């Protein structure tokens, strides 16, 4: 699904709440059987470690780790012993196995975002949040990143929540929610379905 | 698993240079504490060993009067073992060579405690053992070189000719002077009469040595009490503790002086840790967004600090220990017994310092870092560093804690802490005023100058750290230079042309004619002969004086001079003396005394007071009729107490005179000393050499502190510049976008650092001038002289050092092409 809206419409705030990065001042957020709004920062971190993946607009790779280490980081934090193998496989899937030992500063913007996508899928998250994943990239690279994201999303059977102001990209999602001034103003394909999103 | 991530992250951060400032700062702190403490400990134990292992007796009674057989009779009655010892300074001759030496003549039973070890060879490391017998003298090894003699050669002492037996390896009760003294000689007491050195009034110290069980010794002390005159005093055998406490004070002083460097290094560590944590805020937010808990983030980044601490601690302990070993070369020159000793205390002190610095200066930013909420991942990272009040508080607490640890005294640490605070506040005020004053000046300057000043003003608070550190480093550099190069020279210049530079002491009444003939034959202009009688001031207005000022005894009793005085009598007031109160003696004067101003103040004397002296067992009573001001720099014989001629004329006196002799007239002095072996010749050059020697040692200690402070200063600048790197990058990008050229930006940058350096240099100059002024007036008693060279040297050193360091730090930033810089800033 896609959340679309102009700058300042509240897309990113919604994403931070949905992903448990922040808690709402009022209301409730339920995800994968967890009441995020009642959980502490560390408890929400646990939920994120198990069920959530992220792809950010500015890639947000750790500059002192290699591409492979960035990919395996979430798995290693969860104590996954096969992190390295799975990381290599994912890097292969995003076409960067040859650059596994490169540092982010040695990679192009598109390559960095591909590493970020591989990182997002390593814990096999139930839900993946992507915040303007192609906004910092040129048109061709952006398109390639979008394709890769949808491809992996399909193959891993993950729920993708995409925040974007790009209408074309939003159309590729099964559902779209339009935001303005912190509120949903329209949804496609049907308004009834939106009630379940929270 | 987290450990492997932590290890990898740590290694990469280390390679990227992020942690080096913290690591180097802690290394510097540990290294300097270990070396400073270790070196003073080794010195202490060297001196203590020399003293504690060998004490020549259990009790020692000292006297300036010849041996009193009654004392030995009492001791014999109590079954207390005794030995006799005489000590005096005299010239020794061997062929053309001569040397003033300290002679100790001892009886057969010496020493009663410890061992006198003599080697019948010229080597202190090997040789057959020797024994003290009449007809032989034993030398401190360096005297063999000075006199160019070998064991078996004969030397002249007074009128006696004695054979050199060999060298002294261990002398139980040798004086423990760090700065040395005359070379030492041991001879048999039986040979003293043949030397004919002991004349009435000669300066000889007699010692009665006793040993036995404590009860007998206490009984002896009791029984001797009524027999003792004021010239006989029990000597304090507790020298090792006196030296120990002096060295403890020296260690504390050095540690506290070194602490300045350590504190500065720790500040650099704090700034670097803050920057590190600020730069990693986003990284922590990312790993938390990816599912890490606060505890895990803390483990990851806390382990970085632990590893840096471990790394720096190990290297610091090793480096400090190496410095201790290196110091042996320098110190063994001054203290022959100095051996580097391994001790755990410096290592513990170093470790404790490291932990305090790390915990209180650097831990908080990293602790706070782990608390970064995951939501920060969606925010723009902050560029400017925020001032953390808690960290300031922790830092101040740590500084005070370290001061307490090093000084061992609460009051001193509080005082010092407040003083440092005052100093920092003064410097900050000074900097603020200077920047403000410079603003109108800059208005007329190029825009690069204006930009530089604006930058300085904006970073005034962080810059004050740099100001303090560089001021201190430059101040020490200036001080070292001027102490070494200028002050001694100035002091020597103060001595008037042709002022007496050789003093003849111990001239007997009969020798006066000989000395006069000698000076006439050689066209020398001697000062008049001043008679000298040694006496002790015993009462003031019939109030008995406490002879030594001691900490424990705080009774109301007035404290005396504490030693025998050289008393003289004169009919005319000396040229360089001025009566400031009362009147000089007249013909009708009877039993009067003229007192020098400073000692009059110390003893709280006023005109009309009655002073009683004891001279050779006789007591004389005098009245104070004048108080004199004495020019101590005149290099003429000067006296605290001058008595009217009627009082002392009947006492056996020795005489002092002085004359000027051009340099290189050593042969003449040799000749004089040979003619009159009992006369002691003291040359001013020798005194100047001794002062030079002391200054050389102070310089070594100060140089060491200077190195620590200079390194810390550089470290603070590096840390501060690094902390502003992102901000500067952003500013440069904006300026570049607005069309600023490379030359303009470079000039602005250089001007900013040059101005900072000039401020630090100026402040250092003011401090150095103040201290030199105090030294000149108080220590060297010279009129104040302005040091013009200081006023350009200080600022120039500051400008060059700070500009170079700043340039070295930021040159790469300036070399980045404008487009790349702009892109980098936009991307971040």
Contact A22/B at CB under 8 A:
yes
Task: Report DSSP letters for B633-700, one per residue.
Answer: GG-S---SEEE-HHHHTTS--EEEEEE---TT-HHHHHHHHHH-TTSEEEEHHHHHHHHHHHHHHHHH
Contact between A76 and B4 using a beta-carbon 8 Å cutoff: yes
Integer Cα distance of B701 and B332 in angstroms = 14
Beta strands in B474-526 (DSSP E): 502-507
Contact A21/B at CB under 8 A:
yes
Structure tokens at B622: 């005098």
Contact B12/A at CB under 8 A:
yes
Please give, rounded to a whole number of angstroms, the shortest distance from the CA of A190 to a CA of chain B: 30
Is B611 in a helix, a strand, or coil?
A: strand
pLDDT exceeds cutoff 80 at A57: yes
Integer Cα distance of B130 and B139 in angstroms = 12
pLDDT at B824: 67
Residue B489's alpha-carbon distances to B468, B520, B608, B698, B780, in angstroms, are 30, 32, 43, 17, 11
Confidence of residue B11 (pLDDT cuts 50, 70, 90): confident
Enter the ipTM.
Answer: 0.87
pLDDT at B406: 79
Beta strands in B541-637 (DSSP E): 543-544, 565-569, 577-582, 592-596, 610-615, 618-630
pLDDT at B52: 41
pLDDT at B104: 92
Contact A17/B at CB under 8 A:
no
Average pLDDT over residues B543-553: 55
Integer Cα distance of B99 and B204 in angstroms = 18
Confidence of residue B385 (pLDDT cuts 50, 70, 90): low
Contact between B295 and A119 using a beta-carbon 8 Å cutoff: no
Per residue in B643-665, pLDDT tens?
888 777 777 778 888 888 776 66
Instruction: Please report the residues numbered 176 through 195 in chain B whose beta carbons come closer than 8 angstroms to any beta carbon of chain A.
Output: none
Burial class (CB in 10 A: 0-12, 13-18, 19+), B386: exposed
Average pLDDT over residues B806-810: 86
* Percent of chain B scoring above 90 in pLDDT: 10
Task: Report the candidate in A168, A174, A183 with the shortest Cα–Cα distance to residue A135.
Answer: A168
pLDDT at B494: 61
Integer Cα distance of B109 and A33 in angstroms = 99
Per residue in B187-210, pLDDT tens?
999 999 998 888 776 778 898 888
User: Are B67 and B84 within 8 A, CB to CB?
Assistant: yes
Contact between A69 and B291 using a beta-carbon 8 Å cutoff: no
Confidence of residue B335 (pLDDT cuts 50, 70, 90): low
Q: Are strands A127-131 and A159-164 parallel, antiparallel or unpaired?
A: parallel
Average pLDDT over residues B331-347: 73
Confidence of residue B82 (pLDDT cuts 50, 70, 90): very high
Buried b (16+ CB within 10 A) or exposed e, B232-241: bbebebebbe
pLDDT at A68: 93
pLDDT at B691: 61
Cα radius of gyration rounded to whole Å, chain B: 34
pTM above 0.95, yes or no: no
Task: Report the candidate in B94, B67, B120 with the shortest Cα–Cα distance to residue B232.
Answer: B67
Name the helix (H) or strand (E) containing B484. Answer: none
User: Are B295 and A78 within 8 A, CB to CB?
Assistant: no
Please give, rounded to a whole number of angstroms, the shortest distance from the CA of B293 to a CA of chain A: 5
Contact A156/B at CB under 8 A:
no
Choose the closest CB to B296 out of A41, A69, A77.
Answer: A77
Per residue in A12-39, pLDDT tens?
888 889 888 888 888 899 887 888 888 8
pLDDT at A198: 36
Percent of chain A as helix, strand, coil, to the nearest 5: 45, 15, 35
pLDDT at B549: 41
Integer Cα distance of A70 and A73 in angstroms = 5
pLDDT at B105: 94
The residues facing B544 across adjacent strands are: B539
pLDDT exceeds cutoff 80 at B790: yes
Integer Cα distance of B105 and B121 in angstroms = 20
Residue of A nearest to B13 (CA): A64
Average pLDDT over residues B65-70: 85
Per residue in B428-451, pLDDT tens?
787 778 767 766 665 655 677 777
Burial class (CB in 10 A: 0-12, 13-18, 19+), B538: middle
Per residue in B664-703, pLDDT tens?
666 777 777 667 766 777 777 666 665 666 666 666 666 7
Confidence of residue B40 (pLDDT cuts 50, 70, 90): confident
Q: Are strands B184-188 and B97-106 parallel, antiparallel or unpaired?
A: parallel
Average pLDDT over residues B458-479: 76
pLDDT at B280: 87
Choose the closest CB to A60 out of B16, B286, B292.
Answer: B286
Instruction: Please report the residues numbered 174 through 193 in chain A whose beta carbons come closer than 8 angstroms to any beta carbon of chain B.
Output: none
pLDDT at B710: 81
Integer Cα distance of B31 and B20 in angstroms = 16
pLDDT exceeds cutoff 90 at B186: yes
Please give, rounded to a whole number of angstroms, the shortest distance from the CA of B379 to a CA of chain A: 10
Q: How does the average pLDDT of chain B come out, rounded?
A: 79
pLDDT at B648: 76
* Percent of chain B scoring above 70 in pLDDT: 80
Structure tokens at B637: 């014989």
Structure tokens at B684: 């001013």
Contact between B374 and A52 using a beta-carbon 8 Å cutoff: no
Structure tokens at B729: 């990058």
Beta strands in A14-169 (DSSP E): 30-31, 34-35, 52-55, 127-131, 159-164
Contact between A76 and B16 using a beta-carbon 8 Å cutoff: no
Confidence of residue B551 (pLDDT cuts 50, 70, 90): very low
Residues of A in contact with B374 (CB under 8 A): 21, 41, 44-45, 48
Choose the closest CB to A76 out of B5, B13, B377.
Answer: B5
Among B62-71, B548-557, B635-644, B741-750, the range scoring the smallest mean pLDDT is B548-557
pLDDT at B138: 92
* Percent of chain A scoring above 90 in pLDDT: 15
């Amino acid at each position: 699904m896609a959340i679309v809206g102009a700058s300042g419409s509240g897309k990113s705030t919604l994403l931070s709440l949905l992903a448990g990065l922040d808690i709402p001042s009022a209301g409730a957020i339920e995800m994968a059987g967890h009441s995020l709004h009642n959980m502490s920062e560390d408890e929400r971190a646990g939920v994120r470690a198990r069920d959530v993946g992220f792809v950010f607009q500015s890639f947000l790779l750790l500059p002192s780790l290699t591409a492979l280490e960035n990919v395996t980081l979430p798995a290693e934090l969860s104590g996954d012993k096969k992190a390295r193998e799975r990381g290599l496989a994912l890097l292969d899937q995003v076409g960067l196995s040859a650059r596994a030992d490169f540092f982010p500063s040695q990679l192009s913007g598109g390559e960095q975002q591909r590493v970020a996508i591989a990182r997002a899928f390593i814990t096999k998250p139930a839900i993946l949040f992507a915040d303007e994943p192609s906004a910092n990239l040129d048109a061709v690279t952006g398109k390639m990143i979008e394709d890769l994201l949808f491809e992996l999303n399909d193959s891993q059977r993950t729920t993708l929540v995409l925040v974007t102001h790009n209408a074309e990209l939003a159309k590729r999602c099964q559902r779209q929610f339009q935001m303005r001034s912190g509120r949903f103003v329209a949804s496609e394909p049907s308004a009834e379905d939106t009630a379940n999103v929270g | 698993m987290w450990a492997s991530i932590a290890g990898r992250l740590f290694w990469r951060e280390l390679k990227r240079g992020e942690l080096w400032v913290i690591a180097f700062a802690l290394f510097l702190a540990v290294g300097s504490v270990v070396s400073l403490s270790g070196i003073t400990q080794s010195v202490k134990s060297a001196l203590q060993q020399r003293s504690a292992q060998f004490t020549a007796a259990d009790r020692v009674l000292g006297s300036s009067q010849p041996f009193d057989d009654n004392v030995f009779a009492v001791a014999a009655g109590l079954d207390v073992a005794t030995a006799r010892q005489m000590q005096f300074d005299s010239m020794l001759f061997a062929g053309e060579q001569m040397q003033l030496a300290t002679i100790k003549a001892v009886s057969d039973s010496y020493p009663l405690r410890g061992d006198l070890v003599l080697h019948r060879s010229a080597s202190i490391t090997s040789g057959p053992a020797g024994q003290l017998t009449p007809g032989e003298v034993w030398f401190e090894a360096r005297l063999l070189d000075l006199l160019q003699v070998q064991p078996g050669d004969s030397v002249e002492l007074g009128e006696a000719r004695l054979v050199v037996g060999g060298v002294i390896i261990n002398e139980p009760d040798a004086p423990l002077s760090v700065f040395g003294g005359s070379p030492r000689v041991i001879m048999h007491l039986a040979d003293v009469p043949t030397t004919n050195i002991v004349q009435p009034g000669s300066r000889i110290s007699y010692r009665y040595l006793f040993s036995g069980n404590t009860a007998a010794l206490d009984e002896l002390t009791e029984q001797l009490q009524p027999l003792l005159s004021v010239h006989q005093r029990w000597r304090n055998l507790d020298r090792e503790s006196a030296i120990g406490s002096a060295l403890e004070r020296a260690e504390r002083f050095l540690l506290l002086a070194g602490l300045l460097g350590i504190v500065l290094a720790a500040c650099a560590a704090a700034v670097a840790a803050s920057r590190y944590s600020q730069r990693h805020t986003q990284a922590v937010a990312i790993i938390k967004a990816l599912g890490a808990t606060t505890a895990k983030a803390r483990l990851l980044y806390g382990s970085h600090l632990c590893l840096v601490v471990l790394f720096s601690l190990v290297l610091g302990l090793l480096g400090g220990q190496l410095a201790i070993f290196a110091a042996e070369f320098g110190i063994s020159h001054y203290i022959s017994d100095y051996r580097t000793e391994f001790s755990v205390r410096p290592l513990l002190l170093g470790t404790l310092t490291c932990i305090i610095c790390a915990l209180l200066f650097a831990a908080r930013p990293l602790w706070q870092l782990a608390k970064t909420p995951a939501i920060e991942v969606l925010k723009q990272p902050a560029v400017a560093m925020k001032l953390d009040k808690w960290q300031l508080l922790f830092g101040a607490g740590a500084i005070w804690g370290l001061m307490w640890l090093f000084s061992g005294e609460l009051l001193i640490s509080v005082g010092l802490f407040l003083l440092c605070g005052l100093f920092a506040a003064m410097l900050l005020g000074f900097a603020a005023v200077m920047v403000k004053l410079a603003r109108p000046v800059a208005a007329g300057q190029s825009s690069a100058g204006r930009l530089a000043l604006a930058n300085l003003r904006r970073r005034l608070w962080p810059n004050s750290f740099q100001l303090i550190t560089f001021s201190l480093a430059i101040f020490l550099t200036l001080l070292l230079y001027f102490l070494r190069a200028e002050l001694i020279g100035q002091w020597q210049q103060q001595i008037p042309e042709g002022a007496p530079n050789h003093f003849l002491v111990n001239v007997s009444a009969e020798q006066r004619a000989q000395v006069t003939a000698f000076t006439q034959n050689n066209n020398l202009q001697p000062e008049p002969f001043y008679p000298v009688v040694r006496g002790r001031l015993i009462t003031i207005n019939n109030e008995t004086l406490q002879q030594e000022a001691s900490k424990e005894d705080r009774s109301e009793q007035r404290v005396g001079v504490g030693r025998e005085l050289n008393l003289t009598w004169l009919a005319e007031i000396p040229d360089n003396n001025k009566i400031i109160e009362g009147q000089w003696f007249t013909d009708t004067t009877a039993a009067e005394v003229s007192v020098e101003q400073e000692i009059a103040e110390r003893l709280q004397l006023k005109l009309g007071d009655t002073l009683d002296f004891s001279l050779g067992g006789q007591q004389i009573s005098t009245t104070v009729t004048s108080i004199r001001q004495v020019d101590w720099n005149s290099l003429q014989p000067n006296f605290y107490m001058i008595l009217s001629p009627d009082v002392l004329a009947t006492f056996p006196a020795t005489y002092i005179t002085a004359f000027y002799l051009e340099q290189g007239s050593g042969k003449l002095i040799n000749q004089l000393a040979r003619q009159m072996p009992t006369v002691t010749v003291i040359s001013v050059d020798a005194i100047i050499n001794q002062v030079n020697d002391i200054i050389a040692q102070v310089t070594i200690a100060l140089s060491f502190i200077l190195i620590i402070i200079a390194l810390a200063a550089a470290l603070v600048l590096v840390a501060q510049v690094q902390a502003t790197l992102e901000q500067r990058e952003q500013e440069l990008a904006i300026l570049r976008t607005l069309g600023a050229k490379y030359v303009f930006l470079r000039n602005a940058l250089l001007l900013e650092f040059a101005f900072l350096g000039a401020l630090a240099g100026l402040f250092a100059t003011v401090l150095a001038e103040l201290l030199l002024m105090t030294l000149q007036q108080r220590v060297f008693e010279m009129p104040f002289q302005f040091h013009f060279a200081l006023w350009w040297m200080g600022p120039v050193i500051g400008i060059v050092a700070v500009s170079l360091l700043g340039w070295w730090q930021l040159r790469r930033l300036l070399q980045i092409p404008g487009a790349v810089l702009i892109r980098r800033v936009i991307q971040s």
